[in-house]
Chains A and B, each alone.
Chain A
Amino acid sequence: MASLKKLTIALAGNPNSGKTTTFNNITGTRQKVGNWPGVTVEKKEGHVRFGDYDLTVVDLPGTYSLTTFSIEEIVARNFILENKPDVVVDIIDSSNLERSLYLATQLRELDTQVLFVLNMADLAKDKGIVIDADMLSSLLEVPVIFTVGNRNEGTPDLLKNIISVAESGKGPPAERRVRYSQDIEKSIAVVRNLLQEHAGEGFPYNPRWTAIKLIEADEVVTQLVSKELGLNAAPILDETTRQRNKISNLFDDEPEILMTEQRYGFIAGIVREVVKRSSIKRVDVSRNIDLVLTNRVLGFPIFFFFIWAMFQLTFTLGAYPQTWIERGVELTSMGMTQILPSGLIQDLIVNGIIAGVGSVLIFLPNILILFFCIALFEDTGYMARAAFLMDKVMHLVGLHGKSFIPMLMGFGCNVPAIMAARTLENEKDRILTILINPFMSCSARLPVYVLLAGAFFAEKAGTVIFSIYLLGIVLAIVMGRIFRNTLLKGSVAPFVMELPPYRVPMAKSLMIHMWDRSKLFLKKMGGVILVGSIIIWALSTFPQNETLVRQHEIEKRQVQTTFAVRKPNASQQAINVRMMEQDKALAALDRKYLAMAKEESYLGGIGKFFAPVFAPIGIDWKGGVALFTGFVAKEIVISTMGVLHVTRDDSKKGLAEALKQSGMTPLSAFSMMAFILLYVPCLATVSAIRQETNSWKWTAFSIGYSTTLAWVVAFVIFQGGHLLGLG
């Protein structure tokens, strides 16, 4: 078979233009989600075979423009400039032609092959807008085709056109590009000529486009020119400043503003030619839905109901598959115990690796459901309404309405929540959201609260756990305000946000959304957790105390000898009972020695060393060790405490009893819960913070301030409670 021809296709378009749906339609499930190099914007790439072609399809971030207003725009523009895709497909929202064409005119200014896709023409028709695609195509001299993304109509046609554009091998003719007013065109020509004079043939970017961007005072392009031309750049940049001043003086406004208006003027001319608006004004369905969903009275109750429903689904429904996975992990570790000879290797695999990885795997159902709900909110368009409703509240904390989403997701898991903070355009907003996000108590901390509250507060456990969640929210608000007024001083990013029309979500797109994000989460956590659990395992296993091991063997043999003595005529039933008693005695012995071994281990040493730090907040050295292991994953706190407190049996009930006997009081349990809420988040979250802030400094700060705050709050609770005579 002949080798396939390789083509690279980039998808561009406004947010909510149906770009991602089109991407899913083209690539199906064969896609890869990652990050754009150096930044924290999600990159989606997919492959598709069509005829003799192997297409690599890249989904550029959704943008309104190609300036340098946000990271997304810079990423999209750089990809087109540097990677030079064979075809750029611009997805145009037919019901919003003017704004979509604004991006299209910017794409036209770059030297690239473009294909326009009029998406959702059916919706436009409902709004009384009919677009003459042939006219649009001939006016712009760019091929234009129709698709209906959410019904997957027109995809083969789109692929066919992509190929023919790629094969035609010529860009759109220059004269069809936007013409600015005479004075601006003159300035563009001056800068352009100077650029060509100094740069010659080797200059990698389109000279007209570069001149336009220089006059718009585009920082990135200005830097590019300086880098490419070195010393030769100075006269060009000087001339640019002169031309900018000239235009500003002439029109009493900045050139970039004038040029934006003129592009819209050019677009208005096109729209007049190609659009027929029927006089019948149809009902705006979205407006009617919003009459209820963002209603002054009903808006908040409905919003809180949705959030409540999401949590119910995530945690109640998720609990079923969770027990199945739990059982599966148990069976695997039992199987491994039988297959492998007992010893260090078996211990590493069963208690280090399987236990560690299992503790992450168990959250998969919660994560899947949570991401499904979030995808549902996003795909229907409700997410933007949530931000609309919550902006005032979030603004009080110094945050943007959009940060409500990551904060909310934090209750599920801080890792995806911190990853979701990348939707915030302003870096200060993003860092602030990331810094206070771990105070949103994640689901991994819940089992620890359930254990402690269940053991010490009985029927009031629910209220106590709720108060812990509330404490987290209040502290997030307080810390948010403090940071906003100190470290992250500055204005909150503008809240200019589109409220997209409501849409019926597509099952396929929901599934892809859900799976992609879960995969990212699992991959990330899998690796980090694996290494972390092995380290914690090693710390809690070494150094091995030989005498202790020998002592254990001796006592084991003693037990076996005792039980080996049997009555001469014992019935089979009596023998079985005896065997069970022996197993029980052996298990109790194992637990006793395990606890002793842990106490002797490095980890036990660390716990004891730090005991004076934990004492004033009502936590003993065993609790301290448990908190250290909780750095891998919060729920490990339980299993560590289970090991250290020699329990009657393996059940949670046994541990609860052991804790009560250990001298813990309701007050110290509450103090410990508060500490667990606030102290350093788990390893996976820390690595997410590192990745998203792209700074070790912020990561270290996050760890330091949260742990300090945890100690102070726990101290106030424990000592204050004592003074009030609460325990």
Chain B
Amino acid sequence: MLLSEMNQGQEAVIAKVGGAGAFRRRLLEMGFLRGATLRVEKYAPLKDPLEVTLNGCHVSLRVEEAAHIVMEDA
């Protein structure tokens, strides 16, 4: 399952962060690490971007970017 396929309110654990170098590293530096629990807080009114909570902190990212993050059930 990809992060971009998750529904509002759904919770899961990060399995893998893919994507190009700088983008991937930025995500890691912000705490998007293997094993971290993510919750999809909501999608923006126009369905893109989406807001997730990670370690109690709210982060937004685009749907196409969320498609680089592979999730698995906790």
The residues of A with any CB-CB pair to B shorter than 8 Å are: 64-65, 67, 69, 95-96, 98-99, 102, 127, 254, 256-257, 260-261, 264, 284, 286-287, 290, 294-297, 299-300, 384, 388-389, 391-393, 395, 401, 494-501
Whether A498 and B58, one on each chain, are in contact in the complex, defined by CB atoms closer than 8 angstroms, is: yes
Could you say which of B29, B51, B56 contacts A127, with CB atoms under 8 Å apart? Answer: B56
Closest-by-CB residue of B relative to A14 is: B30
Minimum CB distance partner of B47 in chain A: A392
Q: Are B55 and A294 in contact (CB under 8 A)?
A: no
**Digit string of B44-74 for contact with A (CB within 8 Å is 1, else 0)?**
1111110101011111111001000000000
Q: Taking A257-B28, A260-B28 as contacts, is the C-beta distance between A389 and B44 under 8 angstroms?
A: yes
The answer to whether the Cβ of B15 comes within 8 Å of any Cβ in the partner chain is no
Q: With A67-B29, A99-B30, A388-B49 given, is the CB distance from A496 to B65 under 8 Å?
A: yes
6 A-B contacts (beta carbon < 8 Å): A98-B31, A287-B58, A392-B44, A496-B59, A498-B57, A500-B58
- Contact size class for B? 20 to 34
Residue of A nearest to B19 (CB): A494
> What is the CA–CA distance of A256 and B25 in the complex, to the nearest angstrom?
8
CB distance from A618 to the nearest CB of B (A): 40
A127 to B53, CA, bound (A): 14
Q: A294-B44, A391-B44 are in contact. Are A498 and B59 (CB under 8 A)?
A: yes
| Cβ–Cβ contact A499 & B26, under 8 A | no
Cross-chain contact A494 with B58 (CB below 8 angstroms): no
B1-57, CB < 8 A from A = 21-31, 33-34, 41-42, 44-49, 51, 53, 55-57
Known: A257-B24, A261-B33, A261-B34. A393 touches B46 (CB 8 A): yes
Q: With A and B bound together, what is the CA distance between A99 and B26 in angstroms?
A: 12
- Contacts of B42 on A, CB cut-off 8 Å? 290, 294, 296
Give the Cβ gap from B37 to chain A, nearest Cβ, in Å: 13
Alpha-carbon distance A99/B56, docked complex (angstroms): 11
Give how many A-B residue pairs fall within 8 Å (CB-CB). Answer: 113
- Cα–Cα, bound, A261→B58 (Å): 20
Q: How far is the CA of A358 from the CA of B31 in the complex (A)?
A: 52
**Is there contact, CB below 8 Å, between B31 and A99?**
yes
Assess A64 versus B30: contact at CB under 8 Å? Given A95-B56, A286-B58: yes
Query: 4 closest A-B pairs (Cβ-Cβ)?
Result: A392-B46, A499-B58, A260-B28, A65-B29
Complex Cα distance, B32 from A322, in Å, reads 50
Q: Once the chains bind, are A494 and B45 in contact (CB under 8 Å)?
A: no
Residues of B bordering A, CB below 8 Å: 21-31, 33-34, 41-42, 44-49, 51, 53, 55-62, 65
Cβ–Cβ contact A69 & B48, under 8 A: no
- Alpha-carbon gap, A288 to B25, bound state (A): 31
Chain B residues, Cβ within 8 Å of A401: 49
Whether B57 contacts A99 by the Cβ 8 Å rule is yes
Q: Which residues of B contact A99 (CB under 8 A)?
A: 30-31, 55, 57
Taking the closest CB of chain A, its distance from the CB of B62, in whole angstroms, is 5
Q: Give Cα distance in the complex from A99 to B61, angstroms.
A: 17
Please name all residues of chain A whose beta carbon is closer than 8 Å to the beta carbon of B59 when the two chains form the complex.
496-499
Are B23 and A96 in contact, with the CB atoms below 8 A?
A: no
Residue from B25, B51, B62, B65 in contact with A69 in the complex, judged by beta carbons closer than 8 Å: B25
Identify the closest chain A residue to B41 (Cβ).
A287
Docked CA distance A388–B51 (Å)? 8
Contact among A65, A254, A294 with B45 in the assembled complex (CB-CB below 8 Å): A294
**Beta-carbon contact of A389 and B26 below 8 Å:** no
- Are B29 and A495 in contact, with the CB atoms below 8 A? no
Q: Which of A388, A496, A501 contacts B30, CB < 8 Å?
A: A496
In the assembly, what is the distance between CA of A388 and CA of B42, in Å? 11
Measured CA separation A443–B58 after assembly (Å): 36
A388-B44, A391-B48, A395-B48 known; A69+B58 contact, CB < 8 A: no
Taking CB atoms, residues of chain B closer than 8 Å to A495 are 49, 60-62, 65
Query: Which partner residue on chain A sits nearest B46 by CB separation?
Result: A392
> Closest residue to B62 on the A side, CB-wise?
A495
Q: B29 and A260: CB pair below 8 A?
A: yes
Besides the known contacts A127-B56, A260-B29, A498-B57, 6 further A-B residue pairs in the complex with CB atoms under 8 A apart: A96-B57, A98-B31, A264-B31, A290-B58, A300-B45, A384-B60
Most buried by B among A96, A264, A494, A499: A494
Interface pair A391/B62, CB less than 8 Å apart? yes
Q: Which residues of A contact B51 (CB under 8 A)?
A: 290, 294, 388, 499
Are B21 and A254 neighbours in the complex by a CB distance under 8 Å? Answer: yes
Q: How far is the CA of A290 from the CA of B27 in the complex (A)?
A: 23
**Least Cβ–Cβ distance between B46 and chain A, in angstroms:** 4
A65 vs B30: C-alpha distance when bound (angstroms): 9
In the complex, what distance in Å separates the CA atom of A102 from the CA atom of B25?
13
User: Is B65 a contact partner of A102 (Cβ separation < 8 A)?
Assistant: no
Chain B residues lying within 8 Å of A96, measured Cβ to Cβ, are: 55-57
Complex contacts, B28 vs chain A, CB 8 Å: 257, 260-261, 264
- Contacts A64-B29, A388-B49; is A395 near B58 (CB within 8 Å)? no
Q: For the complex, what is the distance from the CA of A459 to the CA of B29, rounded to whole Å?
A: 57
A98 touches B55 (CB 8 A): yes
Contacting pair B49 A391 (CB below 8 A):
yes
In the complex formed, the residue of A with least CB distance to B54 is A99
Residues B56 and A496 in contact, CB atoms below 8 Å apart? no
Contact, CB under 8 Å: A69 / B56: no
CB neighbours (8 Å) of B30 from chain A are 64, 99, 496, 498
Q: For A65, what are the chain B residues with a Cβ–Cβ distance below 8 Å?
A: 29
CB distance from B3 to the nearest CB of A (A): 12
Contact indicator A69/B22 (Cβ below 8 Å): yes
Q: Which residues on A sit within 8 Å (CB–CB) of B27?
A: 496
Inside 8 A of A388's CB, which chain B residues have their CB?
44, 49, 51, 60
When distances are taken between beta carbons in the complex, the residues of chain A under 8 Å from B45 are: 294-297, 299-300, 389
Report the bound CA distance from A384 to B57 in whole Å. 13
In the complex, the chain B residue whose C-beta lies closest to that of A300 is: B45
Bound: A69/B24 CA distance, A: 11
Assess the B25–A494 pair: CB atoms within 8 A: no
Residues of B within 8 A of A494 (CB): 22-23, 26, 61-62, 65
Interfacial chain B residues near A499, Cβ < 8 Å: 51, 58-60
Inter-chain contact A67/B62, CB cutoff 8 Å: no
Chain A residue with the shortest CB-CB distance to B52: A499
Report yes or no: A257 in contact with B62, Cβ–Cβ below 8 A: no
Q: Nearest Cβ in chain B — how far from A321, in angstroms? A: 37
Closest residue on chain B to residue A400 by CB atoms: B62
* A6 CB to nearest B CB, Å: 34
Q: How far is the CA of A497 from the CA of B30 in the complex (A)?
A: 9
Contacting residues, chain B, for A300 (C-beta < 8 A): 45
Q: B60 to chain A: which residues have CB within 8 Å?
A: 384, 388, 391, 495-499
